[in-house]
Amino acid sequence: MNEGLLDLRTSASSFLFLKPHENIFIGISKKTIFHPWITILMPFSKQKLMEFPRDVVVGHGVLDDINELCRRVNLEGKCIVVHDENTKKIAGERAITSLGRDYEVDEIIVEKATMKEVGRVQRLAKKEGVNFVVAVGGGTVIDIAKLSSYKNGVPFISVPTAASHDGIASPRASIKMNGVSVSKEARSPLAILADTAIISKAPYRMLASGCADVISNLTAILDWELASRLKGEYYSSFAAALAKTAAELLINNAKFIKPGIEEGVWIAVKSMIVSGVAMSVANSSRPASGAEHMFSHALDRIAPGKAMHGEQCGIGAIMMMYLHGGNWERIKNALKEIGAPTTAKELGFTKKEIIQALTMAHEIRRERYTILGTDGITKDAAEKLAKITGVI
């Protein structure tokens, strides 16, 4: 692992000389120069940016104190609340009232997560000279606000009204381009405010889907480890540990995640935030997106909008864990307990569509090496895999 080099290199602040018989070397860095008699380890020069949310407030009825949260993170001036027709009624109006105590507030109603909508928010925010953006809504609203604020170079505050995927805290925005979802670089929110009273009133299916998205980190991490071993890809054990912790938290508390239990929302939201932080540490979606996500994206291409992102990823994780030789039944049982789909029928797809998605998944994101390899899975193997795991 790349990080295995860290201790050695930081302790060797200048050059380190080793004779051949002493050359018990734990890793190979690009900066290492080999010589028949000596190995010279170059000075440490690694650099990396990690950006995290500064304040995270999760709890019952916290929405009415959003002005205090904004003050605490030193925001000043004018803000714009981004919401949709529905989330405006659920939480947007209350957020505007609270923010109005300390700030000048504009608002904009958005629809689909497209570049056109991102541009519309961006232009209005610029014209009005807003100092920060407050996103009040589900994934679509948060993605639009995240990308438009990033493009305008101003901070944004994430106020999820539903928790259907781990994008609440991540530095990536999922935007539709030519009908296909594309993950775009953006910034992590400066702060997150998650009111469990509001989120628990959203359709339970959304929360179950968000949990499945986080549980699917387990296969994403295995794919990442594989890519690190086979392709020398950058790997962060810290990011992987965080992503795994988020998934384990949900599996171990699955019995509390039920419709109408606000404590379940609390656990789910916390795990989604930790998952987002894992992506911030890695500076990519790698710790939370592997072959199970590629399978989900393949389903999106076959039949867009039929099922939710997290639901598809959860089923993908069951099958990819089987391919990794891991405990796929544990994932399946946790999803069942939470009430997320575990079969093609529950997901609303035919057997044929599941097999087709499995065979095309490796083509979705060629640069991301996973258990599916570069050639993918044959039709026969896909059918066998889906049958053994009870998906079809």
Q: Which residues bind Zn ion (CB under 5 A)?
A: 213
Using the structure block, give the residue that is written with the tokens 């910034």. Answer: 187
Determine the distance from the C-alpha atom of residue 379 to the mean position of all C-alpha atoms in its chain, rounded to a whole number: 29
The CB-of-102 to Zn ion minimum distance in angstroms stands at 35
Distance, CA of 222 to CA of 241 (rounded, Å): 11
Which of residues 121 and 317 has its CB atom nearest to Zn ion in the complex?
A: 317
Min dist. Cβ of residue 71 to Zn ion (A): 33
Say if residues 291 and 219 touch (Cβ distance below 8 Å): yes
- Closer residue to Zn ion, CB minimum distance, 95 or 313: 313
Beta carbons within 8 Å of 129's beta carbon, 6+ residues apart: 77, 78
- Position closest to Zn ion via CB: 213
The least CB distance from residue 168 to Zn ion, in Å, is 11
161 DSSP assignment:
S
Closer CB to Zn ion, 106 or 213, in the complex: 213
CA pseudo-torsion sign 116, 120, 122, 123: positive
Amino acid at 13: S
The residues with which 55 forms a beta bridge, in sequence order, are 191
Shortest distance (Å) from residue 22 CB to Zn ion: 46
CA gap 14, 25 in Å, rounded: 17
Q: Which of 213/300 has CB closer to Zn ion? A: 213
Output 84 or 213, the one with its CB closest to Zn ion. 213
Closer of 117 and 213 to Zn ion (Cβ): 213
Residue with tokens 């000075």: 43
78: three-class secondary structure by DSSP: strand
Which candidate, 133, 68, 140, 86, places its Cα nearest to that of 107? 133
Query: Tokens 């957020």 identify what position?
Result: 95
Give the count of alpha carbons within 13 A of 108, CB side only: 26
User: Measured from the CB of residue 155, what is the shortest distance to Zn ion in angstroms?
Assistant: 24
What's the CA gap between 327 and 248, in Å, rounded?
13
Q: Which is nearer to Zn ion, 213 or 311 (CB)?
A: 213
Q: To the nearest whole angstrom, how small is the minimum distance from the Cβ of residue 165 to Zn ion?
A: 5
Q: Write down the least CB distance from residue 11 to Zn ion, Å.
A: 38
Strand order in the sheet with 16-18: 16-18, 39-41, 32-34
User: Are 141 and 175 within 8 A, CB to CB?
Assistant: no
CB-based burial, 100-127: b 16+ in 10 Å, e otherwise: eeebebbbbebeebbbebbebbbebbee
Judged by beta carbon, residue 196 or residue 216, the one nearer Zn ion is 216
Least Å from the CB of residue 132 to Zn ion? 26
Do residues 3 and 237 lie in contact, with contact meaning Cβ atoms separated by under 8 Å? yes
Task: Give the shortest CB-126-to-Zn ion separation in angstroms.
Answer: 30
Residue placing its CB nearer to Zn ion in the complex, 213 or 353: 213
Q: Which is nearer to Zn ion, 134 or 340 (CB)?
A: 340
Residue 380 CA, distance from chain mean position: 32
- The distance of closest approach from Cβ of residue 88 to Zn ion in the complex, given in angstroms and rounded to an integer, is 26
**Residue from 137, 159, 135, 151 nearest 185 by CA:** 151
